Amino acid sequence: MSILRTLFDRLSDSLFISVPEKMGLARDLASAPPLRLVSDKSMPTPATDTAFGRRTAGQTGSPVDTLDESIKRSQSWFLSRQHQSEGYWVAELEADTTLTAEYLMLRRFLDRVDPERERKAVLYLRSAQLPDGGWPIYRGGPSEISASVKAYFALKISGVSADEPYMLRARDRILAMGGVVQANVFTKITLALFEQYDWQGVPSMPPEIMLLPKRFYFSIYAISYWSRAVLIPLLIVFANQPVCRLPKEQGIDELFVTPRTTIRYRQFPPFNKDQGWFTPHNVFVVLDAVLKLYDRMPLAWVREKSLHRAASWMLEHMAGSGGLGAIYPAMANSVVALRCLGYQVDDPLVQKALREIEELEIHDTVTVEDQLVEAMHLQPCHSPIWDTALLMNALIEGGMAPDHLPLQRAARYLVSRQTKTVGDWKFSSHQAEPGGWYFQHENELYPDVDDSAVVLMALSKVRIPEAAALQESIKRGASWVLAMQGSDGGWGAYDKDNNRIVFNYIPFADHHALLDPSTSDLTGRCLEMLGALGYDQSHPAVAPALAFLKREQEHDGSWYGRWGVNYIYGTWSVLAGLRAIGEDLSQPYIRRAVAWLESRQNPDGGWGESCLSYAEDESIGRGDSTPSQTAWALMGLMSAGMTDSFSVARGIQYLLRHQSKDGSWEEACHTGTGFPRVFYLRYHWYCQYFPLWALAMYRNLRTRGKMRADEVRQHVLSHGSYRSPM
């Protein structure tokens, strides 16, 4: 097989059409022009389907022209979508139905029900229901208990009768999954606010933890940014246990397998004990029982002091324009906490928080019972920094001049969003100074490593008249990212060395995402950033990072993807970083990664990976092909020196074949990751800028032998313009 593979790779140009036909792929590839990028000689191309913007019968042109046209159409599609005044790009960030269901509950809790919003949200929830009656947490996934319970309850409080056929199907599916008691902790907290679940069945989180020293092992600063932003408002809620009472007919008693009055909550998640007697989880379950006793008679002065500190922290972190943490769960919890603190709904601070949440609404259309209707759903946050920086890298690779006006405008926008304030990251990285970038429109206190690294890659490739300001911005940003490197050699997202795994055994942490440890995808991204800034393996951060990546590599050669689905994402991120930093690509561990990527290619030439890969080994690297995941695999292979391979040629054809006439691609799958197994994301432009990036890389490598990023890297390396004594 290895001999045949070598033969295929060497003859990929001449076999590009004939071999796939022999493999039974003629129908898929017949309408796509062959790519023989060994010369610029024109050649006839077969008739094509104009629905995808390809050539019609009788047209001729070189394969380079074919790629050029595809790249230009994609670039034009983006240029018309740049924000006119500020220069950023942003697309919808879609999650699942849980946020919309929670939003309906929040407005009901505040007695601020908007009939039109409610009507449109109900239609959205109905459109997302699966035939079996439940609701999934990602496109194509199975019914999930927590999402299903939230959707059902949201529909009921919105006035939908439990006797509707689709509600009866939902009830049966929820009961078949074990009923409400099997839902996660956050679902039970929400239900407890409406007296639909007992607070005794919710893990204790006493506000007194706010009084622990910041350096203490179990300090609030020992958990991740998102957990901190979500939990601190909840400490106020837990201490007050507010209730919004509902008419009995809007309750969900019918979703309990056994009557609520007979439930022994300590026998159900998250309190059901492990089989072993002395395990971390069992210890925390016992501790929770002790804390519940304390909650009945807390020390008044201690409780008051801790609540004051929690409230002060929350109010300080709500000062920006993006809401607490700039993520919906924290923003919603802050509103409930404000009500617990005595703020009225019409108070300016509560109104400001509500407006920030309302800005997350997406109004569009969905299909319900074969009819197209207006609907509304909620996205978790905005992603302008991430979208803009990634797209800039793709546009530059696509041949756009570094001083092109849209790129200049985007660069100025990014520079203007660089953080200048000390945030929570200071407690884990004392020597770091402000200079990172956040993900959203505004989240000054919470820059993250991933956004910062991609922004720095983009800024290193552009030119603006304010050259000195640009260089200073890059140096400050790089210093912050480097200061965030963990003691294990890798990088986490928001904090350094946020890896005390014992926290994931706390009953409250049943989503197993309380921490922010170093990950392979972020470490690969930081290596790619270092390469873009002109550094090589002599930089002191590289050796520890390489050692970390070698330890983290899976036995099959892949790398885990924490922030994208999943091993395809992680493997691409690492391989891109290894190439950028000048690692020897012939090393066995890199060749194993290449072999793994090639082994996961689908018969249609693309790649795909289901969110199920986080839970089932059989799904790792497997799933229906998508444009974004195909692009990741291609960029990973090309980064590893496989541009001339048969696999890459087939993948490029997949992207060309699926591009629409307007230059865009379609993708419905969730290929982004919020929390593995719990919360997934569909970045609406992942299927746009990643394919553009991959096609541009392929064109440049085949026609010029190097990427635009390589040229920029070499220029920076020779001039040392962004280097500093870091």
Beta bridge partners of 362: 377
- Other beta carbons within 10 angstroms of residue 318's beta carbon come to 22
**Could you please report the per-residue DSSP string of 511-553?**
TS-S-B--BHHHHHHHHHHHHHTT--TTSTTHHHHHHHHHHH-
**Could you please report the per-residue DSSP string of 30-69?**
TTS----TT-----B-----GGGT-PPTT-B--HHHHHHH
Among 658, 69, 89, smallest CA distance to 391 is for 89
Among 119, 51, 92, smallest CA distance to 667 is for 92
What is the rounded CA–CA span in Å between residue 369 and residue 351? 36
Convert 416-449 to b/e letters by CB count within 10 Å (16 or more is b): ebbbeeebbbbbbbeebebbbbbbbbebbbbbbb
Give the relative orientation of helices 97-109 and 328-340 as an angle to the nearest 10 degrees.
20
- Say which residue the tokens 């693309």 belong to: 606
Going by the DSSP 8-state scheme, the letter that residue 202 receives in this structure is: S
Q: Which of 28, 387, 450, 451 is catalytic?
A: 450
For this structure, is 450 an active site residue?
Answer: yes
Structure token digits, residue 270: 């998250």
CB 128, CB 357: distance < 8 Å? no
What is the rounded CA–CA span in Å between residue 89 and residue 344? 36
What is the rounded CA–CA span in Å between residue 507 and residue 281? 7
Among 283, 278, 298, 287, smallest CA distance to 235 is for 298
Q: Long-range CB contacts (< 8 A, 24+ apart) of 62-69?
A: 63/33, 63/34, 63/35, 63/36, 63/37, 64/37, 64/40, 64/699, 64/703, 66/33, 66/35, 66/656, 67/35, 67/37, 67/656, 67/695, 67/698, 67/699, 68/699
CB 147, CB 177: distance < 8 Å? no
3-state helix, strand, coil in the chain (%, to 5): 55, 5, 40
Structure token digits, residue 192: 């407890």
Give the three-class secondary structure for 377.
Answer: strand
Structure token digits, residue 24: 């039974």
Catalytic residue positions, numbered: 450
